[in-house]
């Protein structure tokens, strides 16, 4: 099939490369000429593991352009995957969606094209996109579209950092449209993923248990709501375990054991029960806010989703409170932060906990040193106003620091020579914001290890007092 993808951000590019890899002819369009030039030469503008490899493997079937005239005519499916960033008023800024829809309408030229909303858009946007395309088509062609297109929703469930894996091996594919012909087209498009009939790349092996992927075909509004309901549920699952982690600390319980104990109940499930600093990234914050505000338009309150947001906000304060309680005075202290990206395997800094935590510490008079394996350059570009010291290694972050906080659980941070690091710190205090480090080993080395919802053994505190 011939596919056009508008927008080469995380979602658009990942979708385009995966669809080309499984055999479709794909044109990726972006209005950013620098991005397109980079992609044409095989370089990807975002950090996503194996994206460049998959792009090289898909190269015969993928092209990049800045021209709607080149991408749209003849396309069987057009994906809209443009950004919908938060606007100053809180709701999503839909200007790019409007522009993309109008440009698609002005260039449609095929027997039948399905226009798919892949961006996370407010519920009801499908109808709006339909009317924008219709108007632009009529203006450009001087006639009605007469059944030559239809709008569908195909929400994206990929996680940054494992976007290619999630696209090639999804748990399910959701397609929503009020037009059965669109659903048929999308079924044919996703057939290689649904049947898992493509040859898996060696660097992205197929999960052993995966045989076939279910397709959920719904009406337009249901597909749009599925996206928000899924993200809000994941966000509240994390907030729930974080809330329980607060109580765990107070009663002397260990949150990892509690999470395992509840997660092995198949009705609850183990995933997204990892307690820590809380969720960041561009999706959970934006989507939970949008859900609350959409509900408000219908005079509906959403206390559960609101509470998940509040608990998440509180987790950032917990980090500062823990440092305060360990150090007594924060003013004049040097704090090292390991990790800037909102999660490992990405350079995305949107709503990254590290940024909020750094700001809070600076406000309290701390000197903040930071390191990230891939997001430093981006941080330098996008946050020049935040007065932190960028260090080129995790060891430098710890040098003469009063405490180090592990903010992003990059795997390489677990393998550091912590023994050597402890010797270079002013006080060996380690706050493991993601509960991923080996607490017993670190305590053995002499660290005061502080977790999020974990028990601090009294015996260890005695040793510290004696020292
Ligand atoms: C999320 C969803 O997981 C995807 O299904 C969805 O497609 C995507 O949003 C989107 O709407 O585009 P993403 O934000 O990329 O994906 O990353 P996640 O892996 O979900 O992590 C989000 C945040 O939650 C991270 O800051 C992570 O550290 C945190 N998290 C995750 C926890 O604190 N605990 C957990 O147990 C899991």
Query: pLDDT of 207-216, one tens digit each?
Result: 998 989 999 9
Local confidence band at 466 (pLDDT 50, 70, 90 cut-offs): very low
pLDDT exceeds 60 at position 467: no
Is 130 in the same domain as 182?
yes
Q: Where are the beta strands (DSSP E) in 180-338?
A: 215-218, 334-338
Decide if pLDDT at 458 tops 90.
Answer: no
Whether 460 has a pLDDT exceeding 50, the answer reads no
- Domain range holding 142? 2-218
Closest Cα to atom 9 of ligand 1:
283
pLDDT at 462: 47
Task: Note whether 56 and 200 are same-domain residues.
Answer: yes
Please give the average per-residue pLDDT across 322-327, as a whole number: 97
pTM of the complete model: 0.93
Ligand 1: distance of its center to the CA of 279 in Å?
7
Query: 240 and 111 in one domain?
Result: no
How many domains is the chain partitioned into structurally?
3
In CATH, what number is assigned to the domain containing residue 243?
A: 1.10.1040.10
**What is the predicted pLDDT for the residue at 356?**
96
Does the pLDDT value for residue 322 go beyond 90? yes
The answer to whether residues 203 and 282 belong to one domain is: no
Domain boundary among 268, 289, 308: 308
Judge whether 467 lies within some domain: no
Distance in Å, CA 140 to ligand 1 centroid: 41
Residue 412's pLDDT is 96
Residue 459 has a pLDDT of 47
Q: What is the mean pLDDT of residues 365-390?
A: 96
Residue 409 Cα to ligand 1 middle (Å): 13
465 located within any domain:
no
CA of 231, closest atom in ligand 1: 2
Cα 164 to ligand 1 centre (Å): 15
Residue 95: inside a domain? yes
pLDDT tens digits along 77-105: 999 999 988 777 667 889 999 999 999 99
Ligand 1 atom nearest residue 272's Cα: 36
Residues 330 and 202 both lie in one domain: no
| 202/272 same-domain check | no
Residue 305 scores a pLDDT above 50: yes
Alpha carbon of 283 to ligand 1 centroid (Å): 8
206 and 338 assigned to the same domain: no
Would you say residue 223 lies in a domain?
no
Q: Nearest residue CA, atom 13 of ligand 1?
A: 159
pLDDT of residue 90: 64
| List of E strands, 44-148 | 62-65, 77-80, 113-117
Q: Does ligand 1 have an atom closer than 6 angstroms to the CB of 137?
A: no
Which protein residue has the closest C-alpha to ligand 1 atom 3?
159
Residue 345, in any domain of the structure = yes
Ligand 1 mutation target, pool 227, 238, 282, most atoms within 8 A of CB = 238
41 and 141 housed in the same domain: yes
Sign of CA dihedral 267, 270, 272, 276: positive
Task: For residues 392 and 385, give the distance between their C-alpha atoms in angstroms, rounded to a whole number.
Answer: 19
Question: Are the CB atoms for 431 and 335 separated by under 8 Å?
Answer: no
Check if 272 has its Cβ closer than 6 Å to any atom of ligand 1. Answer: yes
Protein residue closest via CA to atom 16 of ligand 1: 159
Q: Is residue 48 part of a domain?
A: yes
Atom 11 of ligand 1 has which residue's CA nearest to it? Answer: 283
Specify whether 377 is located in the same domain as 426: yes
- H-helix or E-strand containing 460? helix 458-466
Q: Which pLDDT band, with edges at 50, 70 and 90, does 413 fall under?
A: very high
Q: Which of 18, 283, 366, 391 is catalytic?
A: 283
Tell me, yes or no, if 148 is annotated catalytic: no
Q: Considering only CA atoms, give the Rg of the chain.
A: 24
In this prediction, residues 335-340 reach a mean pLDDT of: 98
Distance 74 CA to ligand 1 centre (A): 36
Nearest CA, atom 7, ligand 1: 157
pLDDT > 80? residue 323: yes
Q: Is 249 in the pocket of ligand 1 (CB under 6 A)?
A: no
Q: How far is the CA of 345 from the centre of ligand 1 (A)?
A: 12
Residue at which a domain ends, from 168, 199, 218: 218
In a domain, 171, yes or no: yes
158-198 tens-digit pLDDT: 999 999 999 999 999 999 999 999 999 999 999 999 999 99
Query: What is the distance in angstroms between the CA of the first residue and the CA of the last residue of the chain?
Result: 70
356: Cβ below 6 Å to ligand 1? no
Angle (nearest 5°) at CA 307 between 262 and 449: 55
Residue nearest atom 10 in ligand 1 by C-alpha distance: 283
Q: Could you tell me if 203 and 233 lie in one domain? A: no
Neighbours of 221 (CB within 10 A): 15
From the centroid of its chain, how far is CA 352?
A: 10
For residue 34, give both structure tokens.
């620098």
Domain with 395 in it: what CATH number?
3.40.50.720
In short, whether 276's Cβ falls inside 6 Å of ligand 1 is yes
Can you tell me which atom of ligand 1 is nearest the CA of 273? Answer: 36
Q: Which of 308, 323, 233, 312 is nearest to 278 (CA)?
A: 312
Distance CA 239, CA 87 (A): 25
Q: Are residues 133 and 183 located together in one domain of the fold?
A: yes
- Measured by CA distance, the residue closest to atom 6 of ligand 1 is 157
Is 100 domain-assigned? yes
Q: What is the mean pLDDT of the chain?
A: 94
Among 218, 245, 271, give the residue marking a domain's end: 218
| Ligand 1 and 460: CB distance under 6 A | no
- The reply to whether 341 and 299 lie within a common domain is no
- Residue 87 is predicted with a pLDDT of 78
């Amino acid at each position: 099939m011939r596919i056009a993808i508008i927008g080469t951000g995380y979602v658009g590019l990942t979708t385009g490369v995966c669809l080309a890899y499984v055999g479709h002819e794909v044109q990726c369009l972006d209005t950013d000429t620098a991005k397109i030039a980079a992609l044409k030469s095989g370089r990807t503008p975002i950090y996503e593991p194996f994206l460049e490899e998959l792009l090289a493997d898909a190269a015969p079937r993928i092209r990049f352009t800045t021209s709607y005239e080149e991408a749209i005519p003849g396309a069987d499916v057009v994906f809209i995957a443009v950004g919908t960033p938060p606007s100053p008023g809180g709701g999503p800024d839909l200007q790019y969606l409007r522009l993309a829809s109008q440009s698609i309408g002005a260039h449609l030229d095929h027997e039948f094209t399905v226009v798919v909303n892949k961006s996370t858009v407010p519920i009801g946007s499908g109808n709006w996109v339909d009317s924008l395309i219709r108007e632009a088509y009529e203006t450009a062609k001087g006639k009605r579209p007469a059944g030559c297109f239809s709008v569908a929703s195909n929400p994206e469930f990929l996680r940054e950092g494992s976007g290619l894996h999630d696209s090639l091996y999804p748990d399910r594919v959701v397609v929503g449209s009020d037009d059965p012909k669109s659903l048929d087209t999308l079924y044919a498009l996703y057939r290689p993923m649904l049947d898992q009939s493509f040859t898996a790349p060696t660097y992205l092996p197929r999960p052993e248990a995966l045989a076939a992927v279910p397709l959920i075909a719904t009406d337009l509004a249901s597909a749009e709501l599925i996206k928000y309901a899924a993200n809000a549920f994941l966000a509240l699952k994390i907030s729930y375990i974080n809330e329980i982690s607060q109580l765990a600390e107070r009663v002397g319980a260990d949150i990892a054991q509690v999470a395992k104990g509840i997660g092995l109940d198949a009705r609850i499930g183990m995933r997204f029960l990892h307690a820590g600093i809380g969720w960041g990234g561009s999706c959970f914050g934006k989507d939970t806010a949008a859900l609350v505000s959409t509900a408000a338009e219908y005079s509906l309150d959403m206390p559960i989703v609101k509470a998940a947001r509040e608990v998440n906000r509180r987790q950032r304060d917990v980090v500062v409170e823990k440092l305060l309680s360990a150090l007594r005075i924060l003013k004049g202290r040097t704090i090292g932060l390991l990790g800037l990206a909102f999660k490992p395997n990405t350079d995305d800094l949107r709503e990254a906990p590290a940024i909020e935590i750094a700001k809070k510490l600076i406000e309290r008079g701390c000197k903040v040193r930071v390191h990230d394996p891939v997001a430093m350059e981006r941080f330098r570009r996008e946050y020049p106003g935040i007065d932190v010291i960028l260090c080129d290694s995790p060891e430098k972050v710890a040098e003469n620091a009063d405490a180090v906080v592990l903010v992003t659980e990059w795997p390489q941070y677990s393998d550091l020579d912590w023994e050597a690091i402890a010797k270079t710190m002013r006080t060996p205090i380690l706050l493991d914001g993601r509960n991923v480090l080996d607490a017993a080993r670190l305590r053995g080395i002499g660290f005061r290890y502080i977790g999020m919802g974990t028990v601090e053994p009294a015996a260890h505190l005695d040793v510290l007092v004696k020292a």
